[in-house]
Amino acid sequence: MYSTNRTELNQRFILVFSELKTRGEIIKNSREKSKSAFAKKLGTKGHIIDKWLKGERKITYDQAKALCQHFGVNEAFMFQGKESAFPNKKQLPAPEKKLANVLNIPFSPNILFTNVEAFASNTVGVDLLEENQRFHIPGVFGDLVAFNINGNSMMPTISSGDMVICMPLENNTELQDNEVYAVVANNSVWVKRVQRCFDRHGRWTHIKLISDNHEEFDPFLLELGEIRKLLKVKRRLTGLDEQF
């Protein structure tokens, strides 16, 4: 139903929870506005809220929907990161810094920059934690991976020399047809538009990798068993090779 990554969804929940406390919607030791009363409206318990705030567990889509319904949270903000959290209110200020304050952790870069070869040899990629390989873009959350593109198979959408920033999928079932993904398989990484392919019994068996530059590059199939990792391409940065 929703394409939002649950890690991003949970991060926006943390921001909204902090804002609700500031507004007096959640008050410690209050019978009607306690954390337990808040949790009940979302169909859960107070200790689960604590786990969401610590990042140990993640809010579900249905619980996020209930949050919007009961507390007037903007669904466009909650599920897409667009507009402001509360209608007719200004956008939450400096969300990435506020999130760090709520979590009581130092603000740090969250995007791992690597090269395609290193990324292909490491199934997870985001396990490489060297600080000098990380950077940050305001408003972009989550453990992300970035690398440069070499080749023109995705022209005009992505050009050779562009940097792509990708979010690992928690589960392959989150994949959406005709969107652009980084596909890790057989010690190679392809950035392509993808489509799911099913057998005659309706079982998902392959994905088709499609180049936007389809006049020069033919589509091809990969079996699901060959795929080590799928990452959604979230951002494209261009013109990074210019010197001043």
Distance between CA atoms of residues 219 and 29, nearest Å: 60
Residue range 134-145, pLDDT digits in tens: 777 766 667 788
Spans of the chain below 50 pLDDT: 1-2, 90-94, 105-107, 123-132, 241-244
Phi and psi, residue 86, nearest 5°: -125, 130
Q: What is the pLDDT of residue 115?
A: 74
Q: What is the pLDDT of residue 47?
A: 93
Q: What is the pLDDT of residue 99?
A: 53
pTM over 0.85: no
Q: What is the pLDDT of residue 167?
A: 86
Are the C-beta atoms of residues 229 and 124 closer than 8 Å to each other? yes
Please give the C-alpha separations between residue 9 and each of 4, 23, 99, in angstroms, as whole numbers. 7, 21, 13
Q: What is the pLDDT of residue 88?
A: 61
Distance between CA atoms of residues 99 and 174, nearest Å: 25
Q: What is the pLDDT of residue 18?
A: 85
Domain boundaries defined on the chain: 6-103, 111-237
Domain 111-237 CATH class label? mainly beta
Q: What is the pLDDT of residue 168?
A: 86
Report the Cα 191 to chain-centroid distance in Å. Answer: 17
Distance between CA atoms of residues 146 and 111, nearest Å: 7
**What are the b/e assignments for 196-219, b being 16+ CB within 10 Å?**
eeeeeeeeeebbebbbbeeeebee
Closest CA to 52 of 86, 102, 105: 102
Token match 């919007």: residue?
68
**DSSP per-residue letters across 3-47:** ---HHHHHHHHHHHHHHHHHTTSS-TT-TTTSHHHHHHHTTS-HH
Are the C-beta atoms of residues 84 and 126 closer than 8 Å to each other? no
